[in-house]
Structure 1
């Protein structure tokens, strides 16, 4: 059974600055506690990653995943290609500019292979969504401050 979660966060940055942080998969383990490593396997003509292999750990479960990314204007979405622990994973960031800030809409749908107790699954999803919103916001602002 797929678990779906949606969250919004406002980041005081442009959509381009936010998407640049999302695209920097090699540094993702620095700001996303679930990500232990990431390796870009393929890029599109614009240089954005389109296929990424990563090792993630959530709620004590480690997984090697390969994810396909699709980039558009103010949006990035991804789908699971392979995983030992999930049947499917689909997610996206949709960015809505608002003056000097951007509303980031994060949507996630995960279908685990192994039956996981509800409270553990909820904790894992919460951690993933926290990293994907609050962690992303902190990283973007940290990089803006360092400019």
Structure 2
């Protein structure tokens, strides 16, 4: 999930600036129901199959409906690796997460908001990451693009692939 979870969104354009939080957002339409999308988002163990950022995901806790509420993830993007623990919250219109601990990040908040749109669903992905150390601007831009692409287009591709297998 997004968890997509993101080691590279440093808050500095140049390494000489202090780190700060960076926020990115993106929207897209997926030809699937909100439930079909949530099923993919809750299948955290499959993230390494469709997200090049994720190396390993372990579910630490689940709610009474079997949805993940806490996970440990090994991620790597633009050469920077991290191990992060995330807490998840389920909302009427999607899912969000917050960082519990990490080696490279001070904070992280992410959210997928799902809005039915006819036979499809409008998906908004919001992510704020605050790294502990600054990175050069070109790495920040490259990492941010990769994260947002995986979190949106990668999600869409995975949802449609899973939906195709179920149909």
Length-normalised TM-score, structure 2: 0.86
Query: Is the contact between residue 16 and residue 74 of structure 1 (CA under 8 Å) also seen in structure 2?
Result: no
Kindly report structure 1 stretches of 4+ aligned residues shifted beyond 4 Å: none
Q: Counterpart of 2:131?
A: 112
Count of matched residue positions in the alignment of Structure 1 and Structure 2: 147
Alignment of 1:135 onto 2:154: yes
Pairwise mapping of residues 36-115 of structure 1 onto structure 2 (< 5 A)?
36-115=55-134
RMSD: 0.7
Indicate the structure whose relative CO is greater, using CA pairs within 8 Å and at least 6 residues apart. 2
Aligned equivalents of 2:153 and 2:138: distance in 1?
Answer: 21
**Structure 2: unaligned runs, 5 residues or longer:** 1-19
Unaligned ranges ≥5, structure 1: none
C-alpha distance in structure 1 between counterparts of 2:31 and 2:164, whole Å: 11
Shift of 1:88: 0.5
Bigger strand fraction: 1
Alpha-carbon offset, residue 72 of structure 1: 1.6
Asked if residue 26 in structure 1 is aligned to residue 64 in structure 2, the reply is no
